[in-house]
Amino acid sequence: MQGDPHGSPFFMLICNKKKRLIVLEEIHHGNELIFHLKLLAMNKLAYKTGFIGFVILMIVSGCSQNSIFKAPAVKIQGKWRYETVKFRPYNSFVNQNITDQYFGDVVEFNSDNSLSKFTQNDTLPGTWSIQDNSTADTNQGQSLVMALSNSNGTVTISYLTNLYIGSKKITAYENRGDGTYYYVLKR
């Protein structure tokens, strides 16, 4: 390969399958002919663009209502309906799907720690709080404590453990006298 007679450099560009640009450059330096082989990664731009996009996504999600960075006490606020309820009696390995008993039930958690549970037959007012059960020895997560009053004034306290609160889903377990209940609530 030679450059033109005027001594201008000759370039040869090759793009291989890995999206790398190979530049073979012929340069005349005095009477010497020097070849430079340059390998330029075209996908560096893709990495930089992806990283910048990820940073923008994290900033935007931090400003949205469904942010993953919000405290559980903030994420739980709003109306939730029972999606799935399963019951496992003590000394049994079989779960029973009892979602039908909760059909149409909605729980609304308010920012002032009050709540309302709307059932087919009644509206139950109450309060709620989230407790951290983690200690230095164990990491048992958080629990949800709900105190509901019925029309007779009787207060029922529910203590839900293994609490997970996402932007659109809550899961928790409750141990009662007859067995363990598993709840899935969705917005």
Do residue 54 and residue 32 come from a single domain? yes
Q: What count of residues does the chain have?
A: 187
Per the CB < 8 A criterion, the answer to whether 43 and 71 are in contact is no
- pLDDT band, very low/low/confident/very high, at 51 (cuts 50, 70, 90): confident
The pLDDT of residue 121 is 86
- In a domain, residue 2? The reply is no
- In a domain, residue 127? The reply is yes
Per the CB < 8 A criterion, the answer to whether 25 and 34 are in contact is no
Do residue 100 and residue 52 come from a single domain? no
Q: With a cut of 60, say whether residue 168 has pLDDT above it.
A: yes
- pLDDT band, very low/low/confident/very high, at 30 (cuts 50, 70, 90): low
- pLDDT band, very low/low/confident/very high, at 135 (cuts 50, 70, 90): low
Q: With a cut of 70, say whether residue 31 has pLDDT above it.
A: no
Q: With a cut of 80, say whether residue 176 has pLDDT above it.
A: yes
Per the CB < 8 A criterion, the answer to whether 174 and 161 are in contact is yes
Looking at every residue in the chain, the average pLDDT score rounds to: 78
Do residue 167 and residue 96 come from a single domain? yes
The pLDDT of residue 58 is 65
10-15: strand order across its sheet? 10-15, 20-29, 32-41
What is the extent of the structural domain holding 56?
10-63
The pLDDT of residue 107 is 97
